[in-house]
Structure 1
Amino acid sequence: MASYPNKLIAQLAFKAGGHVFHQLASLNPRHFIKATPTHIQECKLHQGDYGVNGSVIEWSYTVDGKPQTAKQVLQGIDNEKKQISWKMLEGDLCVLYKDLVITAHVETKNGVDFITWTIDYELISPENPHPVSFLNFFICLTKDLESHIFG
Structure 2
Amino acid sequence: MALSGKLIGYVEVSKAGNVFHDLFRHKPHEIAAIAPEKIHDCELHEGERGDVGSVITWHYTHEGKKKFSKQIIEAVNEENHTIVLKAIGGELVDELYKTFKATLHVEQKGEKQVATWTFEFERPDTSVPYPTSLMDYVCDLIKDVDAHGKH
**Same fold? TM cut 0.5:** yes
Shift of 1:90: 0.4
Aligned 8 A contact 1:35 1:148 in 2: yes
Q: Name 1:62's counterpart in structure 2.
A: 61
Shift of 1:138: 0.6
Q: Name 1:9's counterpart in structure 2.
A: 8
SS at structure 2 position matched to 1:67: strand
Equivalents in 2 of 1:122, 1:149: separation in Å? 37
The gaps in structure 2 that reach 5 residues or longer are: none
Shift of 1:112: 1.6
Aligned 8 A contact 1:102 1:118 in 2: yes
The gaps in structure 1 that reach 5 residues or longer are: none
Equivalents in 2 of 1:29, 1:69: separation in Å? 14
Q: Name 1:136's counterpart in structure 2.
A: 136
Shift of 1:33: 0.4
Q: Name 1:29's counterpart in structure 2.
A: 28
SS at structure 2 position matched to 1:23: helix
SS at structure 1 position matched to 2:21: helix
Aligned 8 A contact 1:96 1:125 in 2: no
**4+ residue stretches of structure 1 with deviation over 3 A?**
none
RMSD of aligned alpha carbons? 1.4
Shift of 1:72: 0.3
AA aligned to 1:148 is H
Q: Name 1:121's counterpart in structure 2.
A: 121
Equivalents in 2 of 1:108, 1:147: separation in Å? 18
Shift of 1:149: 2.7
Q: TM-score, normalised by structure 1?
A: 0.93
Shift of 1:125: 2.4
**2:41 matched to 1:49?**
no
Q: TM-score, normalised by structure 2?
A: 0.93
Aligned-pair identity in percent equals 34
Q: Name 1:72's counterpart in structure 2.
A: 71
SS at structure 2 position matched to 1:30: helix
Shift of 1:150: 6.5
SS at structure 1 position matched to 2:149: helix
Which segment drifts farther, 41-50 or 11-20? 11-20
AA aligned to 1:39 is K
AA aligned to 1:123 is R
Equivalents in 1 of 2:134, 2:87: separation in Å? 13
